[in-house]
Amino acid sequence: MFGIKFMKANPTTYVLHYSNGKIKREGVGLSFFYYAPFSTIVSIPIASSDLPYVFNEITADFQSVTIQGQITYRISDARQLSKLLDFSLALNGKYRCDDPELLKQRLIGTAQVATKSVVQRLVLREALVSSTSIVNEVINELKNADSVKMLGVDVIGFSILSIRPTPEMARAMEAEAREAFQRKSDEAIYARRNAAVEQERMIKESELNTEIAVEEKRRKIRETQMAAEIAIEEQRALLIDQRVENDRKDTDSRAYALETTLAPLRNMDWKTLMAVSSGAGDSKLMISLAFRELAENAQKIGELNITPDLLNTLLDTRLDTRKK
């Protein structure tokens, strides 16, 4: 009424009341009446705000990536900001111009410049997995940037929600990753098979070593048996040699005895030997010897008469000898 209005600010709003070009009052959460035709009200929100962003950047290997996240900030020096940007209110309670939005654009621009300087040093694969290092470098850059300090703004946080390559590159990398995982899977299968083969080889080698050890034991047993048999055969050969030697000695002894026995008879006449061996009282032997003498001296005998009785007697004696 009559140009008099009432201003009531929130506890998170810094208000500056200008009257005739001079600051009449200022502060947080003020409530007052003012005369609108001669007053200018500047309302600056000082609560922390989240500012989303989406950046399209190029990596060191000339690949495009999309970085999405948000900036958290608050206005720490409202009077300093009011000198650079227009936050004054119109009669309807809205801002007179778009300077409040310009603050957001300046913060996003500064953050994008800092992000670009980091991303351009990384290749695509590094950029996709380096969100933490990018955040650390960018937030330090924002806190120390002169353009941000001049605005009277404190950057509380800078976060990256996602870093994505182009769809074509994403599919290519996914295919490459799948192939890499498949190769690792194949390598794991091959390693498992190799391990199985190695275990089988070790088992076979152990079995062969066992068989070799058994055969070695058997060989030693056979050698021991052969050594025992050789020793027995050697003992047997010695026994046979001894027997042969004993038999030879016995034969030599018998031959010597026989030679000694026959030595006196070697030069004797056979007639004498016959007479001695058969006895001197055997008339039939004597008759046989006589007939032998006659036969030997037949050229000297003129006539010889032998009676039948004598022949019968001699024949009967030979027959009796054959029957016996």
Tell me the one-letter amino acid at 26. Answer: E
Please check the confidence at residue 265 and state whether its pLDDT lies above 70.
no
Q: Average per-residue pLDDT in the chain? A: 84
Please check the confidence at residue 90 and state whether its pLDDT lies above 60.
yes
C-alpha distances in angstroms, 136 versus 72, 139, 143, 145, 297?
14, 6, 11, 14, 162
Q: Residue 296: which pLDDT band, with cuts at 50, 70 and 90?
A: low
Span 298-324, mean pLDDT? Answer: 62
User: Residues 6 or more apart from 266 whose CB is under 8 A from it?
Assistant: none
Residue 72 is predicted with a pLDDT of 94
Span 72-79, mean pLDDT? Answer: 92
Q: Are 146 and 165 in contact (CB under 8 A)?
A: no
Residue 170 is predicted with a pLDDT of 87
Which pair of structure tokens corresponds to residue 144?
């120390």
Please check the confidence at residue 115 and state whether its pLDDT lies above 90.
yes
Residue 311 vs residue 162, higher pLDDT: 162
Residue 159 vs residue 307, higher pLDDT: 159
Domain ranges of the chain: 1-46, 48-80+93-165, 167-234
At 150, which helix (H) or strand (E)?
Answer: helix 146-150
Superfamily of domain 48-80+93-165: Band 7 domain (3.30.479.30)
Instruction: Specify the 3-state DSSP secondary structure of 119.
Output: helix
**Separation CA 324–CA 319 (nearest Å):** 9
Q: How far is CA 263 from the centre of its chain?
A: 99
End-to-end CA distance of the chain: 193
How much of the chain, in percent, has pLDDT values that exceed 90?
35
Residue 20 is predicted with a pLDDT of 83
Residue 21 vs residue 22, higher pLDDT: 22
pTM to 2 decimals? 0.56
| Pairing mode, strands 153-165 and 31-35 | unpaired
DSSP, residue by residue, 14-50: EEEEEETTEEEEEEES-EEEEEGGGEEEEEEE-S-EE
Residue 285 vs residue 308, higher pLDDT: 308
pLDDT in tens, 28-48: 989 998 888 888 999 999 999
Residue 49 is predicted with a pLDDT of 92
Span 111-138, mean pLDDT? Answer: 92
Using only C-alpha atoms, what is the Rg of the chain? 73
Please check the confidence at residue 314 and state whether its pLDDT lies above 70.
no
Span 56-62, mean pLDDT? Answer: 92
Residue 244 is predicted with a pLDDT of 87
Vertex 45 angle, CA 147 and 22, to 5°: 85
Please check the confidence at residue 74 and state whether its pLDDT lies above 90.
yes
Q: Residue 269: which pLDDT band, with cuts at 50, 70 and 90?
A: low
Q: Which of 98-102, 189-193, 236-240, 319-323 has the lowest mean pLDDT?
A: 319-323
Identify the burial level of 11 via C-beta atoms within 10 angstroms of its C-beta, where 0-12 means exposed, 13-18 middle and 19 or more buried. exposed
pLDDT in tens, 137-161: 999 999 889 989 999 999 999 999 9
Residue 16 is predicted with a pLDDT of 92
Span 224-242, mean pLDDT? Answer: 88
